[in-house]
Amino acid sequence: MRTSPYIQVLFQQTAEKFRSETAIIFGNKRLTYKEVEEKSNQLANFLLANGATKGSIVAILSKNIPEVIISIIGILKAGCVFVPLDTNFPEKRLELIISEISPHWYIADSKFLRTVNNIAKKNHISKPKFICLDDNSVLDEFQHDVRILKHYAKHSNCEAPDVNFDPNDTCYIFFTSGSTGKPKGIVGRLKAIAHFINWEIKTLNVTEKTRVSQFATPAFDAFLKDIFVPLCSGGTVCIPEDRTIIFDARKLVDWIDRQKINIIHMVPSLFRSILNEDLEPNIFDSLKYVVLAGEPILPVDVIKWTDIYGERVKIVNLYGPSETTLTKFFYLIKSSDRERRSIPIGKPIEGSAALVLDENKRVCPPGMVGEIYIRTPYRALEYYHQPELTDAVFIQNPFNNNPHDIVYKTGDLGRITEDGNFEYFGRIDRQVKIRGIRIEVTEIENYLRFHQSVGNVAVVDREDSNGNKYLCAYVVLNQEIELDSLRSFLSQYLPQSMMPSMFIALESLPRTMSGKVDRKALPAPEKAKQESTRNFVAPRTENEKKLAQIWLQILKIEQVGVNDNFFDLGGHSLLATKLISRARKTFGVELPFNIILDSPTLESMTQSIETILWAAETSSGMHSYAGTSWERGEL
């Protein structure tokens, strides 16, 4: 098949070849290549027929992943720019993003119409057009502020639209955390998507029989790997019907095995949660590659995996900031890497080059740590409407005088080893990665300072005993408050992925001799908690004591009281997966992830478990009564 610099054309060519084959599996729902092709053409033609032009910004706000995939392809076919928004974002964060890009098109579920309407009115966005993806009736009260295009489903033109593309066209905007408190938009270059997708298909020998997992949220660029690697090779995108399965490692393991997944894309912390389950060599018999990116993988992870699977299921380590489009480094991990102190990020892929430079932009010799610079024509175009930030990191190649030869200044520390591989050593600035998501801790600090009771704050990343990173917020309070109220306050502005796992009150923040906050001198969370004056109430009931034992084992702490909060003691989403697994073994219940979020104290979580047990017993009792002479109406 002839390769193309345009990802939408690559998909179209693939769809023509595999028309009747399954492109997407979502629970019991299956979509063929023919259906995805026609639906995406329908959307593209509808956009163009209703006034969309090349470069028009189209926001996507939907929980229906197959519809998001079709929307992205359709938007690209129309020559427009897609902006996928996270449906779990608080409305205030959505407003920050939407006010930045002022989209005049929305493709969304009807439940988000009120949100779109409120934001459009507040930011004086004139009558944005709203394409509704579901069958729910839409209230006419919004017609004054939003133009609802009700006739989309009846649009009959399903032929491929005739649109001219350029390899350097703007194709997407993905938003990431920004140090100013405002999310920054990374503007994607069209040819860059196809460059990476073609590379992975070729390198991992992806074919029409390959089944690829889809775990990433559409609001992050890793989503593009999940969908276009299979869709441009004739393979199948396999989507969990219940997205919360990602927070239950045992269910996730079973799903991967049952779906006969061949390639998994995931962040190392999610991979680590799977490793903590009781894995057996006879499961994952279809799995060929685990492709990791977004954060460092630890040697102990390699040891655990290779002890079970050897090199039958290969681990791939990828590296590359979103500014360079998806990833630009590749390393195939070997069993012998278990002896390394750190796992390399490998070497640049075809079409990319990299150097490690010191602070004076001189080349670092092998073994010397410096900043990683990446040179590739397949990088992002810019930060949306932030020229100063763009110029600060997309700089002229310091080794020639060509103003068009641009390199990306990553802000990541690394070094080149004797064998030519690169190693990663973290960030120069205060940006951190938590479970693969880039976070500017300054943004979190700025929002906490808005709280009237917070006098000062420092947010840092910590590491638990399993090597998983989490955020910890140290606050100096003007007045005594429940620290949980800070979590509630932040939830108005920040997504769950940016929420500190722990809030610790200090009398003052430690300072360096120059007066700056000494982040290295901040007390370890365990020590700070031991010094807390909070009243301790020991577990009282049998179930509270059982749950307390699980907390002690998972959180690796010495005591826990009924009023203690799972997240304040260092819990986070990955440790929550362990909690779900242990609760299943101890209590015989399926503890939903949202229960942990809504009932985070030992007392409230125990009550939730007892409610689930009571409901199960009641249901069982009713089934047994139904078999007697009692009438169903009496029950």
Q: Please give the backbone phi and psi of residue 186, each rounded to the nearest 5 degrees, phi first.
A: -95, 120
Give the number of other Cβ atoms within 10 Å of residue 544's Cβ: 22
Please indicate, yes or no, whether residues 399 and 290 belong to a single structural domain of this protein.
yes
Please indicate, yes or no, whether residues 547 and 477 belong to a single structural domain of this protein.
no
Asked whether the predicted pLDDT for residue 6 surpasses 70, the reply is yes
Please indicate, yes or no, whether residues 517 and 548 belong to a single structural domain of this protein.
no
Please indicate, yes or no, whether residues 298 and 425 belong to a single structural domain of this protein.
yes
Please indicate, yes or no, whether residues 285 and 368 belong to a single structural domain of this protein.
yes
Among 242-246, 372-376, 543-547, the minimum mean pLDDT is found in: 242-246
Please indicate, yes or no, whether residues 289 and 228 belong to a single structural domain of this protein.
no
SS3 74: helix
336 belongs to a structural domain? yes
Summarize pLDDT for 254-279 with one digit per residue, the tens: 999 999 999 999 988 889 888 888 89
What DSSP assignment string belongs to 491-512? TTTS-GGGS-SEEEE-SS--B-
Could you identify the residue written with the tokens 């938003």? 175
Residue 528, token pair as written in the block: 């700070």
Please indicate, yes or no, whether residues 368 and 446 belong to a single structural domain of this protein.
no
Give the number of other Cβ atoms within 10 Å of residue 362's Cβ: 11
Which CATH number goes with the domain that contains 600? 1.10.1200.10
The residues, ordered by sequence, that sit 6+ positions from 210 with a Cβ below 8 Å of its Cβ are 230, 233, 235, 236, 262, 263
Predicted pLDDT of residue 628 = 38
Summarize pLDDT for 591-617 with one digit per residue, the tens: 888 888 888 889 999 999 988 888 877
2 belongs to a structural domain? no
Please indicate, yes or no, whether residues 501 and 593 belong to a single structural domain of this protein.
no
Predicted pLDDT of residue 245 = 86
CB 543 within 8 Å of CB 602: no
CB 407 within 8 Å of CB 419: no
Mean pLDDT of 193-214: 97
HEC sequence for 1-44 = CCCCCCHHHHHHHHHHHCCCCEEEEECCEEEEHHHHHHHHHHHH
Choose the final residue of a domain: 429, 449, 472: 429
Per-residue b or e along 499-521, where b marks 16 or more CB atoms closer than 10 Å to that residue's CB: bbbbbbbbeebeeeeeeebeeee
Its domain, for residue 234, covers 7-188+211-238
Mean pLDDT of 275-303: 91
Q: How confident is the model at residue 626 (pLDDT cuts 50, 70, 90)?
A: very low
Which CATH number goes with the domain that contains 462? 3.30.300.30
Report in angstroms the alpha-carbon separations of 364 from 68, 369, 393, 400: 44, 7, 19, 18
Choose the final residue of a domain: 407, 429, 451: 429
Please indicate, yes or no, whether residues 26 and 171 belong to a single structural domain of this protein.
yes
Predicted pLDDT of residue 362 = 94
Among 263-267, 419-423, 447-451, the minimum mean pLDDT is found in: 447-451
Mean pLDDT of 112-123: 83
168 belongs to a structural domain? yes
205 belongs to a structural domain? no
634 belongs to a structural domain? no
CB 152 within 8 Å of CB 131: yes
Rounded CA gap, 274 and 256, in Å? Answer: 11
Could you identify the residue written with the tokens 């009959």? 156
Predicted pLDDT of residue 629 = 36
Rounded CA gap, 552 and 571, in Å? Answer: 11
Please indicate, yes or no, whether residues 457 and 573 belong to a single structural domain of this protein.
no
Please indicate, yes or no, whether residues 290 and 409 belong to a single structural domain of this protein.
yes
569 belongs to a structural domain? yes
The residues, ordered by sequence, that sit 6+ positions from 587 with a Cβ below 8 Å of its Cβ are 543, 546, 609, 613
CA 195 to chain centre: 22
The residues, ordered by sequence, that sit 6+ positions from 613 with a Cβ below 8 Å of its Cβ are 587, 588, 589
195 belongs to a structural domain? no
Choose the final residue of a domain: 530, 555, 579: 530
Q: In the beta sheet, which residues pair with residue 238?
A: 25, 213
Please state the pTM of the whole predicted model: 0.80
**How many domains does the chain contain in total?**
4
Predicted pLDDT of residue 5 = 84
Among 132-136, 329-333, 347-351, the minimum mean pLDDT is found in: 132-136
Residue 11, token pair as written in the block: 């998909």
* Alpha-carbon radius of gyration of the chain: 26
475 belongs to a structural domain? yes
Which CATH number goes with the domain that contains 306? 3.40.50.12780
Residue 64, token pair as written in the block: 């229906």
Please indicate, yes or no, whether residues 520 and 610 belong to a single structural domain of this protein.
no
